[in-house]
Chains A and B, each alone.
Chain A
């Protein structure tokens, strides 16, 4: 019976996601698209948190991915979404591969500081080299072609949504596989006790490096998707407050599941949209209070809350750790 309900629920969610362009008003669909794209970046922040590492510089990959798409259009005249995403993934892989060499040696506060420093270097570059990057005005990203097909301005929202949905699901699947792979288990071991991980014969550095690489690619893809969806890129994408927002959403969702970044991201975009309309001067205030609440009372985030509710309903449910 439970399985039937579960299957039914999943089916409904699936139908809802597929039918969203026809069920939801345009602005809500756009928010959902953004939430999916940013959810990928948050997922990148989350996988590092398995190892106890908090990246306060993921705006770096977010911006690098977004500007990759913008530069392709500006300098090479390439508008193809697939090429943009591929280039963003490759470039950010290389970038994470380089920076990871340094970052994988750092822990705790130093990891955070070095990631901030890297992201601020990119920010300074994007801001000041305006003859390449457009400076504070940023760059416009033209409406993309998707796999060679021209998309009309009327359909672009729907198309963007499905592109983001596909990548969101791919990212989700990859992170889920990672969480059950030796690398994922090692990363959680790094958080608990690095010395023991080394004694088992595994390399802590290589573990952190591997996960960081994955995290950087996710960040770049998220940035590229946002650039395609919004049609505009600006240096603020790399600023430390953007990175702080990703960390916030990751903590809001909790590290309990690879699904939580997307749920938290959707909630965040939705609440922000309303909060800014209703009370623009108390939006950050409420964010701060929520973050304080999570730190002091609910370190497991929203996912922990969900697990708790589930536990209350079915006290005898299996106690295997859900990742």
Chain B
């Protein structure tokens, strides 16, 4: 009985952690490169979810094979990443050069407010469902517990995204440019790195990741207004726990938060959110640069 419960906690925790990683990896990556704590990340997540719901609806409505809904999910994320991301970096964030980080936070907060209503104007306030990809994968029996396959596949997707991100940032020329920009924007610019372009690409990548998180989770939830606001604050917790700007840290943070919150839900349901934010607070107090981070000298 207890082992079954522990197994359930482990799986649910991993699933929740996978989702958390997808939504917080982009947030922390963008902060690392642009030094902007992007509140609008939640909006990109919601946009991804809504667009995915629309596209899945189109695929199902035309009587096409459910297998086509999976590329539809990725397409939704790509669309958001390729349009909203570059536009926001180019039109808004780039004009912030020289302003402090808090101004960046406020700017993205403004964008979040705008998208809240834009989403309502486009998709209305009634819930959208995109459950076809979820149902098509069926179920799996693990011991005495039956699991839907889709959430389990999410763990694999998150792991794959983690590896891709690691490869992209650590093993490619683009990754080297990104590291240079993270280390010192001005010196990189002086050495001929097109900092604006690198920032634009990095921000678009972050946007894509947020939208992908939304698109992939859309089949598991009902897509309603307000999901952007909910996701961003828990993504903040994850990135802070892992260390702002640290993608590997976000993976660890996602795992920790996923397991902690799921265990709380199983054993002490009153404590679930409480524990997450208590953890975030403790990390901020004792290791402000994250469990993985290195201390930085405060720039005055």
Name A residues whose Cβ lies closer than 8 Å to a Cβ of B.
Answer: 52, 54, 56, 102, 106-110, 112-114, 116-118, 120-121, 123-125, 127-129, 193-195, 240-241, 244, 247-248, 251, 281-285, 287-289, 291-292, 295-296
Contacts of A114 in B (CB 8 A): 281, 284-285
Q: How far is the CA of A125 from the CA of B285 in the complex (A)?
A: 20
- Of all A-B residue pairs in the complex, the 7 with the closest CB atoms, nearest first, are A288-B113, A288-B114, A124-B273, A285-B117, A291-B110, A124-B274, A120-B277
**Which B residues lie within 8 Å of A285 (CB)?**
113-114, 116-118, 121
CB < 8 Å neighbour of A54 from B102, B107, B237, B269: B102
Q: What's the Cα separation between A195 and B300 when bound, in Å?
A: 8
Q: Is the CB of A125 within 8 A of B274?
A: yes
B221 at the interface (CB under 8 A from A): no
Alpha-carbon gap, A109 to B105, bound state (A) = 8
Kindly identify which residue among A129, A194, A282, A288 contacts B110, using a CB–CB cutoff of 8 Å. Answer: A288
Contact of A113 among B229, B236, B274 (CB under 8 A): B236
**Is B136 located at the chain interface by the 8 A CB criterion?**
no
Known A54-B105, A108-B101, A127-B273: A120·B240 in contact at CB below 8 Å:
no
Q: Is chain A's interface secondary structure helix, strand, loop, or mixed overall?
A: helix
B249 at the interface (CB under 8 A from A): no
CA distance in complex: A117, B95 (Å): 29
Which residues of chain B have C-beta atoms less than 8 A from A124's C-beta? 272-274, 276-277
Q: List 10 A-B contacts (CB under 8 A).
A: A52-B100, A56-B105, A112-B105, A121-B281, A241-B229, A282-B117, A284-B116, A285-B117, A288-B110, A295-B106
- B271 an interface residue at 8 Å Cβ cutoff? yes
- Which residue of chain B has its CB nearest to the CB of A99? B281
Would you call B292 an interface residue if the criterion is a C-beta within 8 Å of the partner chain's C-beta atoms? no
Chain A, Cβ-Cβ closest to B111: A288
Report chain A residues within 8 Å CB of B101: 108-109
- Chain A residues positioned under 8 Å from B153 (CB to CB): none
Interface of B is mostly: helix
Check B102 against A109 for contact (C-beta < 8 Å): yes
Bound state CA distance, A127 and B269, in angstroms?
12
Which residue of chain A has its CB nearest to the CB of B244?
A109
CB closest residue in chain A, given B274: A124
Nearest Cβ in chain B — how far from A93, in angstroms? 20
A residues in contact with B92, CB < 8 Å: 292
Q: Which residue of B lies closest to A285 (CB)?
A: B117
Interface string of B254-277 (1 = CB under 8 A from A): 000000000000000111111011
Across the interface, which residues of B come within 8 angstroms of A287, CB to CB?
110, 113
Mask, B110-154, CB within 8 Å of A = 1, is: 111111111011000000000000000000000000000000000
Residues of the A chain whose Cβ atoms lie less than 8 Å from the Cβ of B105: 54, 56, 109, 112
Q: How far is the CB of B121 from chain A (nearest CB, A)?
A: 5
Residues of B within 8 A of A109 (CB): 37, 101-102, 105, 244
Per the bound structure, the CA–CA distance linking A109 and B120 in Å amounts to 30
Quick one: given A121-B277, A194-B300, A292-B92, are A110 and B110 in contact (CB under 8 Å)? no
B233 touches A283 (CB 8 A): no
Contacts of A195 in B (CB 8 A): 300
Q: How far is the CB of A299 from chain B (nearest CB, A)?
A: 9
B76 contacts partner chain A, Cβ-Cβ < 8 Å = no
In whole Å, how far is A35's beta carbon from the nearest beta carbon of chain B? 20
For the complex formed, measure the closest distance between the CB of B94 and the CB atoms of chain A, giving whole angstroms.
Answer: 12
